[in-house]
Structure 1
Amino acid sequence: MQMTNVVLSAPEAVESPGSVADLLTEAAAVAGGRPAVSDGGGTHTYAELDAISRTAANWLRRNGITRGDRVLLRLGNTREFVALLYGAFRAGAVVVPINPTMRQYHLAQVVADAEPVLVVAAGTDTAAAASTRGTAATLVPAETVLAGAEGADEPFAEVGPDDLALLIYTSGSTSAPKGVVCPHGRVRFAAAAIAARLGYRADDVVLTASPLSFDYGLYQVFLSALARAELRVADAEDPVALMATLRASRATVVPIVPSLADMLTRLARRGAPPVDVRLFTNTGAALTAPTTAGLRAAFPNAGVVPMYGITECKRVCILDADGDLAKPGSVGPALPGTRVLILDSDGAELPVGEVGEIVAEGPHVMAGYWRAPELTAQRFRTDPETGAARLFTGDYGRLDADGHLYFAGRRDDQFKRHGTRMSAIEIEAAAVDVPGVGAAALLPPDGTRDMVLVVTGAVEPEAVLSGLAERLERAKVPPVCAVRDRLPLTPNGKTDKKALLSDWEGAANGD
């Protein structure tokens, strides 16, 4: 019986003992005059970014920030965020990156959990001010830290691979935000392994509209530094401006989620085809076949790279550019130096082709959840034979004989109906295949409510359900379909099913 033990290694994916800030130090030493990061206000070269981050580190050290202190950064996609990120690393701080769109309710939970010594935000951030009131955290405007401190420079903190670099807060379907503990060594390993697979180049302009507080956007900072490429940060809130930025910056690499891909495809049809983009990467939610085809038509020189990842280990698998043409539905093989397994409910490996829980193993597995030992014990375990770190993702998939992963759905997407096990992602994919459907989201059955399908597009609900009946078994066809102008999105560009459920329940109750 062929099992799913697939090991892929590469010399590039070697854990480094240094700080994540060393990525900037190394880039500035060899590419100081090259653009490092740009936004709507200007550009910093690697030498300039290095100097500004050192100024910020000096301010932090002179104002009492020591190794292991948490520093919460609540800024948008700006050059200032990148400089403060590296500056905090150099001061030995643990960075807690938070999206400025996070509401005060959840922000207060994060502040209470992380207990930051310092919160750095825009001076007009009233939510940050309210969330720090009554805590030991000090709120400081970003410009104050970047202005530096008088007096002799303070020495940078010495950090090792096990020292914490980041607390990245994520939220589950029902729980409060939880912090993923990310040590320097594991962050650097993950970045190097991803870089080895994606192959960013020194002449690339990497345009990211994903929030830098979200690990997909945040790691673009590290990947760009490894390649000595230019990172162009932007905001997806203004689609027309983003497309203009893509053209004006001559962006060559664009990380996307499905909603952003659809938007760029529509806008790219206005005017000459953008020919500079050579690579789209995708994670967070899978691109549908129509979306991928639309990208290739609108961006004639661009390859599309499907990926699968989870904040708790950053990335699991990456497919070669346009590898989906030969392996439709695949998200690629494991990262260099890591392993992906498919396990059953008893923890036994499953044969090739069988669906089970996706388990990632290797030095990219982070160190658990902040102050949540029970949850950490559930998700973060060790190989009973080798002691290697393992992450039980809670997602389901299968491997083929070549070690390529095929994502089948998340634990919350798996359910039984009429005695048949199914997944929301399977039904959503079939719905998008129905002519006229632009996007689809399924609300799984819950209590007395049966499953509900919500779609966008110029289509009638009856036509969608009829099309699904031609594509799926009867038990998998929802009894109800609703058509909306758009699907609500989270700040990270994923479908916001909580908001969708609230909208549906409100409509059902006549609100």
Structure 2
Amino acid sequence: MTLTVENAVAGHPDGTAAAKLLHELLDTTAALRPQHVAVRDSKGSWTWQDLVAQSHAAAAWLRAQGVRPGDRVVVRLPNVRETVAMLYAASRCGAALVPISAEMKDFHLKAVIANCEPRLVVVVDGAGDKVRPLTGFPVHEIGTVWGELTDGASVPAEAHDPASPAVLIYTSGSTATPKGIICPHAQMSFAADAINRVLGYRNDDVVFVRVPLSFDYGLFQVLLCCLAGAELVLADGEADAKLHLLIRETGTTVLPLVPSLGGPLIRLAERDPRPTKLRMFTSTGAALEQRIIDGLWRCFPGARVVRMYGISECKRITVMPPAEDRERPGSSGRPLPGTRVAILDEDGNEVPAGSSGEITVTGPHVMAGYWRLPEITARTFRTDPATGVTRLHTGDYGRLDEDGYLYFEGRRDDMFKRKGMRVSTIEIEGAAMDIPGVRNAAALKPTADRDLMIFVEADGLAPQTVLRELAQRLEAVKVPSLCRVLDAFPLTANGKNAKQQLEAMLAEEAA
């Protein structure tokens, strides 16, 4: 399936295809809507004109710190306006922003910084003394940075290559530490434009973003709002307990959800049924259960619940058109305009409609591979021998129906979704192996009958000690609920952990 990309936003006369650098998208929208609110957080708001000025001042500061084209800038911040300004500031300098979760623990933060070798690191106020021992690169606290900005400062316009990296997104995967996905300007601007062609964000929308900006789902809301001229409202986990109230107070019309937020929002709305302005929910991160979809329809009459499927390696793969949200239960929609999804069998041949196989993707939104991981890049981003274009092999299974709608069926590797976030058993095992006394580790994915579990091989370690140590190394969503300590692990013939034997042992005990 291949569709022609058209202009997405009235007022962007040449469309995203012509304005492929991220800061050019900002400048175009600011010229059209200078006094309208662009972004708001708990401490205040900036108009589009303000955001341009802040991004120029931040770019001048970055330049003064020695940031040059091709450099990386790590930003470890919560959902605040300054993160948005730094995205565009890095773009103006020709550098790549590396947004890191504020919840990433030192164990992985140290590895990520060492991997991307940034020119500098920006952290929340008060975190500098904790992060500096982890790296030899300069670490700056955001309050100090903004205090050093010069009003009216700017950097000269330069012709940067749209194929150069705009962002590195670090995500869990088939390595013990997060791997960086290279996201060039051209791919990001195309993906945002194609997504918006389907979702139809408007300049009167207010988009409430609770999803972290370090997660591509959250970061792309910045670009979608920019394309539409919509207002972006940023919030953190502290907002969860009063989410329904904040939605009403801010006049939110669009709410990007991860499935774990759906149930709590429904309960809040049932206790406080006053109407809101919500017209659309979007969801990704895991399949949204039908009971959650039904609850959102019930509590927010008239709001569309848009199902989507994607991975960070190409941002979005399919979107269910909003007007069709009550059709084709179980489907995640159709491929983005201008892209193609093919289902392949084990021999790499396309299968007919209705047959299952690996989901593969081609199109201008396919990213440029993994940072400094050529072997994994070659396995995942393969050249299609028939066309010569790059084909992304997702490692996921699914099927297409006769009309080109995708039905996701599952993953074939060690990845899984927990509370809406992508988690890797290999990543958990790597953290467990860092615990003194642990000789071996095997993480078992959650099942319908059991939560995430870790087995470790060790002498004299209590299960609760292992879980406590993991909590110091991993984000909360990645910490197993259960732990079993063994004297020795069962191994396969080639020396790998025999996870099937561990699972069988649990099944026997439960019988």
TM-score, length basis structure 1: 0.80
Shift of 1:128: 5.7
1:280 corresponds in structure 2 to 281
Corresponding position of 2:100: 98
| Equivalent in the alignment of 1:377 | 378
Cα deviation code 1:178-226 (max 9, x no counterpart): 0000111111101110111110000000001000010000000000010
| Counterpart for residue 166 of structure 1 | 167
Instruction: Give the secondary-structure state (helix, strand or coil) at the position aligned to 2:335.
Output: coil
Aligned residue among 467, 476, 482 for 1:503 = 482
Contact 1:182 1:367 in 2 (8 A): yes
Instruction: Give, in whole Å, the separation in 1 of the partners of 2:335 and 2:74.
Output: 32
What secondary structure, in the 3-state scheme, does the structure 1 residue paired with 2:413 have? Answer: helix
Paired residue for 1:27? 29
Cα distance 1:150–1:253, how it changes in 2: closer, same or farther (>3 A)?
A: closer
- Note if contact 1:67-1:157 (Cα within 8 Å) is conserved in structure 2: no
Check the 8 A contact 2:3/2:339 in 1, yes or no.
yes
**Structure 1 residues 132 and 354: alpha-carbon distance in aligned structure 2, compared to 1, 3 A threshold:** same
Contact (CA 8 Å) 2:36, 2:48: kept in 1 or not? yes
Q: Is the 8 A contact 2:132 2:139 kept in 1?
A: no
2:142 maps to which residue?
142
SS at match of 2:337: coil
| In structure 1, distance between residues paired with 2:22 and 2:392 | 22
Distance 1:8 1:108, change over 3 A: same
2:6 pairs with 8, 11, 24, which one?
11
1:50-81 superposed Cα distances (whole Å, 9 cap, x missing partner) = 11111101111122111011000111101111
Structure 2: state its 5+ residue gaps: 9-15, 426-440, 452-470, 487-505
Tell me which residue corresponds to 1:453: 448
Name the SS for the 1:8 alignment partner: coil
The whole-number CA distance in structure 2 between the counterparts of 1:410 and 1:127 is 40
Q: What SS is found at the alignment partner of 2:17?
A: coil
Residues 397 and 132 of structure 1, relative CA distance in 2, 3 Å threshold = same
Q: Does 1:110 align with 2:112?
A: yes
Q: Does 1:73 align with 2:75?
A: yes
Q: 1:159 offset after TM fit, Å?
A: 1.1
Are the aligned partners of 2:188 and 2:365 in contact in 1 as well (CA < 8 Å)? yes
Q: Deviations over 1:398-436 (max 9, x none)?
A: 00000000000011379xxxxxxxxx99xx9xxxxxxxx
- In the TM superposition, 1:241-390 aligns within 5 A as 241-321=242-322, 323-390=324-391
Deviation at 1:85, TM superposition (A): 1.5
Do the aligned partners of residues 22 and 128 (structure 1) sit closer, same or farther apart at CA in structure 2, a change above 3 Å counting? farther
Whole-angstrom CA distance in 2 between matches of 1:451 and 1:217: 25
- Contact kept in structure 1, 2:164 and 2:185, CA below 8 Å: yes
**Kept in 1: contact 2:398–2:409 (CA 8 A):** yes
Q: Which amino acid counterpart does residue 170 of structure 1 have in structure 2? A: T
Cα drift, residue 123 of structure 1: 2.6
2:192 corresponds in structure 1 to 191
Contact 1:180–1:312 (8 Å) recurs in 2: yes
- Displacement of 1:314 in angstroms is 0.3
Residue of structure 2 equivalent to 1:226: 227
Q: 1:168 to 1:16 in 2, by over 3 A?
A: farther
The aligned amino acid for 2:219 is L
AA of the residue aligned to 2:76: R
Q: Deviations over 1:96-153 (max 9, x none)?
A: 00011100100000000000011011131158624543x2x11112233333249974
Give the match's secondary structure for 2:126: coil
CA distance in 1, matches of 2:402, 2:373: 37
Contact 1:209 1:236 in 2 (8 A): yes
What are the superposed Cα offsets for residues 455-485 of structure 1, whole Å, 9 maximum, x if unpaired? 79xxxxxxxxxxxxxxxxxxxxxxxxxxxxx
1:320 is displaced (CA, Å) by 1.3
The residue matched to 2:332 in structure 1 has which SS?
strand
* 31 and 151 in structure 1: CA distance in 2 versus 1, 3 angstrom threshold: closer
Q: Which amino acid aligns with 1:294?
A: G
Equivalent AA in structure 2 for residue 91 of structure 1: C
* Amino acid across the alignment from 1:359: T
Q: Which letter does structure 2 place at the counterpart of 1:141?
A: E
Q: Are the counterparts in 2 of residues 161 and 183 from structure 1 also a CA contact under 8 Å?
A: yes
CA distance in 1, matches of 2:118, 2:186: 22
Aligned partner of 1:499: which letter? Answer: V
Equivalent position SS for 1:330: coil
Q: CA RMSD in A?
A: 2.9
- SS of the aligned residue for 2:39 comes to strand
Q: Distance between the aligned counterparts of 2:47 and 2:255, measured in 1?
A: 20
Q: 3-state SS of the aligned residue for 1:328?
A: coil
Structure 1 letter corresponding to 2:24:
D
Q: What whole-Å deviation, never above 9, does each CA across 1:15-42 have from its counterpart, x for those lacking one? A: 3453111111011100011110001111
AA matched with 2:21: S
Q: Is the 8 A contact 1:202 1:228 kept in 2?
A: yes
Deviations 1:431-454 (A, max 9, x none): xxxxxxxxxx9x9xx999998534
Sequence identity, in percent? 47
Report whether the alignment pairs 1:204 with 2:199.
Answer: no
In structure 2, relative to structure 1, the CA distance for the partners of 1:219 and 1:412 (3 Å cut) is same
- Using the alignment, how far apart are the partners of 1:389 and 1:221 within structure 2? 27
376-385 vs 101-110, which moves further: 376-385
Deviates more, 1:306-315 or 1:6-15: 6-15
Structure 1 stretches of 5 or more lacking a match? 1-5, 415-423, 429-440, 457-489
State how 1:445-484 maps to structure 2 within 5 Å: 452-454=447-449
**Which aligned runs of 4 or more in structure 1 are off by greater than 6 angstroms?**
446-451, 506-509
CA contact (8 A) 2:128 2:140 kept: no
- Counterpart CA distance in 1 for 2:125 and 2:115 is 23
Q: CA deviation at 1:386?
A: 2.0
| Aligned match of 1:394 | 395
Q: Which amino acid aligns with 1:205?
A: V
Query: Any idea what SS the aligned residue of 2:70 has?
Result: coil
* Conserved? CA contact 2:2–2:339, under 8 Å: yes
